[in-house]
Amino acid sequence: METQHKNGRRDFLKQSSLGTVGALLAASAMTVPHVHAAEDNTINVALVGCGGRGTGALFDALQTEGPKKVVALADAFPEKIAWTLRSAVERFADDVDVPQDRQFAGFDGYRKAIDAVGTGGVILLASPPAFRPRELEYAVEKGVHVFMEKSFAVDPPGVRRVLRAGETATEKNLKIVGGLMTRHKRSMQEAIEQIRNGVIGDVMKCWAYRMHGPIGFGERRENESLLAHQIRNYSNFTWLNGSPMLDYLIHNLDVCCWAKGAYPVAAQGQGARQVRTAQDQTFDQYAVEYAFADGTRFQGQGRFMQGAWNCFQATVHGTTGCAVFGEGIPQPRLYRGHNPTAENMIWEYRGPEFRGEYQAEHDVLFDVIRNDTPHNETERCAYSTMVGILGRLVCESGQRITWEDAFKSDKSLADIDALVSFDSPAPVQPDANGDYPFPVPGLTEVL
């Protein structure tokens, strides 16, 4: 589910008022340097993170308009580089030029790939979220445009690093697009516009759901280091993905905040590991009640169990109606009243079908580069990440925590810069039975 690639589309509508980054507006009003494609219009592209998600992003980038060339690939695992390269050559041979000396395996590969793509090129960042802040920082330092997959950090210090890098990117006129692909879906943009126009009244309550079967887990391979095992199974270790509350729910958490036009100011919640037996750190259920500044509420629910009720969507209730949309819902719809039944439907998207939201992310990025249009999505990416992090913190601790207290926390999940090879000590260690520590609400301190 997480790595399945979807084709995209070419079109892109303007962002909502919430989706328009404040830093982007500032950039449009100031004199900024030109950082765009070379004179021959060919844009160099490199990929960091050659898993299914990263390879899909590379394919989307190669389907944008105009000439482009893949010049480098990087991943901690060399076999993943080989797989991505082989797949790319099969489909886009004329646009791929990645000799052996530009295939960068190892923990410093991201730096080499960014160096190889060069100023004005594009780096696609699709490694596990824990590595995103330092990758983004280095790309911005080197004057490289960025597509970065979600999630964008795993802890508050990481979020602050991403925000600072975004501010510098604005100053340098670098273009940044984030992998909150639902923001780039035309039908969703139209639905949010309907909500802005008052079709369902004032937004009073939001729900973000992602409930389905168990999260997969791969057993440790023979002679595999502990660190390599954890990175290969990054969805199962909190220091790498920030928990499923963040990495799995981020899209619909973002959609709810987009519909409301605000981010929460506090949260309380609960999480537990009830039926899961895999030797990892994953809770199998999360429930978070977020509070907005006006007193209205927003619920995030995640459950990953076999045989339980499944639900994958966002639901928004206004004073006169409701909406069902978000990740997991192909066709957004709005309804009168609060029963989303066919006879109550008052709006659904009837525009043309495009190539999809995944493709749209890259169409936007390459278009703004070629036209040298200010564009920076870092702020909303960072804040939506913070929503998921706040949810994790309250579930793990069992405490009510304000956004302000969470945001200013200096507690990191891991020292990423200390990881220099697969022989480096893993940030979390199992006990003698191979079991990993996981939080105990009411006892665990998270700030």
Alpha carbon distance 75, 37 (integer Å): 25
Report, as an integer, the average pLDDT of 329-353: 94
155-169: per-residue pLDDT in tens? 999 999 999 999 999
Amino acid 413: pLDDT = 97
Residue 355 confidence class, pLDDT cut points 50, 70, 90: confident
69-105: per-residue pLDDT in tens? 999 999 999 999 999 999 999 999 999 999 999 999 9
Amino acid 128: pLDDT = 98
What does the mean pLDDT of the chain come to? 92
Residues 230 and 256 in one domain: yes
Flag whether pLDDT at 298 surpasses 80.
yes
CATH code, domain with 156:
3.40.50.720
Residue 40 confidence class, pLDDT cut points 50, 70, 90: confident
Residues 225 and 250 in one domain: yes
Alpha carbon distance 258, 181 (integer Å): 13
Residue 210 domain-assigned (yes or no): yes
Those residues with Cβ within 8 angstroms of residue 277's Cβ, 6 or more apart along the chain or in another chain: none
Range of the domain at 236: 186-352+386-413
Alpha carbon distance 186, 11 (integer Å): 8
Overall number of domains in the chain: 2
**In this structure, are residues 108 and 138 in contact, taking their beta carbons and an 8 Å threshold?**
no
Residue 103 domain-assigned (yes or no): yes
Amino acid 408: pLDDT = 98
Report, as an integer, the average pLDDT of 352-377: 93
Percent of the chain with pLDDT over 70: 91
pTM over 0.85: yes
For 365, the enclosing helix (H) or strand (E) is helix 357-370
Residue 437 domain-assigned (yes or no): no
**In this structure, are residues 89 and 98 in contact, taking their beta carbons and an 8 Å threshold?**
no
**In this structure, are residues 248 and 403 in contact, taking their beta carbons and an 8 Å threshold?**
no
Q: Does residue 12 or residue 76 have the better pLDDT?
A: 76
Residue 441 domain-assigned (yes or no): no
Residue 17 confidence class, pLDDT cut points 50, 70, 90: very low
For 358, the enclosing helix (H) or strand (E) is helix 357-370
Residues 178 and 191 in one domain: no
Percent of the chain with pLDDT over 90: 89
178 DSSP assignment = E
Residues 161 and 192 in one domain: no
Amino acid 313: pLDDT = 98
Amino acid 352: pLDDT = 78
Residues 179 and 206 in one domain: no
Burial of 349 by CB count in 10 Å (0-12 exposed, 13-18 middle, 19+ buried)? buried
Residue 7 domain-assigned (yes or no): no
Residues 242 and 158 in one domain: no
Q: Pairing state of beta strands 311-318 and 297-304?
A: unpaired
Report, as an integer, the average pLDDT of 271-282: 95
Residues 160 and 32 in one domain: yes
Residues 297 and 176 in one domain: no
DSSP string, 101-125: GGEEESTTHHHHHHHHH-TT-EEEE
393-403: per-residue pLDDT in tens? 999 999 999 99
Give CA angle at 18 (12, 22), nearest 5°: 95
For 48, the enclosing helix (H) or strand (E) is strand 43-48
Report, as an integer, the average pLDDT of 279-294: 97
Residue 203 confidence class, pLDDT cut points 50, 70, 90: very high
Residues 134 and 192 in one domain: no
Alpha carbon distance 321, 84 (integer Å): 46
Residue 180 confidence class, pLDDT cut points 50, 70, 90: very high
Residue 3 domain-assigned (yes or no): no
CATH code, domain with 281:
3.30.360.10
Report, as an integer, the average pLDDT of 131-137: 98
Token pair, residue 293, equals 């500044």
Residues 296 and 367 in one domain: no
DSSP string, 196-256: HTTTT-SEEEEEEEEEESPPP-PPPPTT--HHHHHHHTGGG-HHHH--HHHHTTHHHHHHH
Residue 258 domain-assigned (yes or no): yes
Residue 322 domain-assigned (yes or no): yes
Amino acid 39: pLDDT = 54
Amino acid 436: pLDDT = 95
369-392: per-residue pLDDT in tens? 999 999 999 999 999 999 999 999
Residues 205 and 341 in one domain: yes
Residues 59 and 191 in one domain: no
421-440: per-residue pLDDT in tens? 999 999 999 999 999 998 99
Q: Pairing state of beta strands 203-212 and 311-318?
A: antiparallel
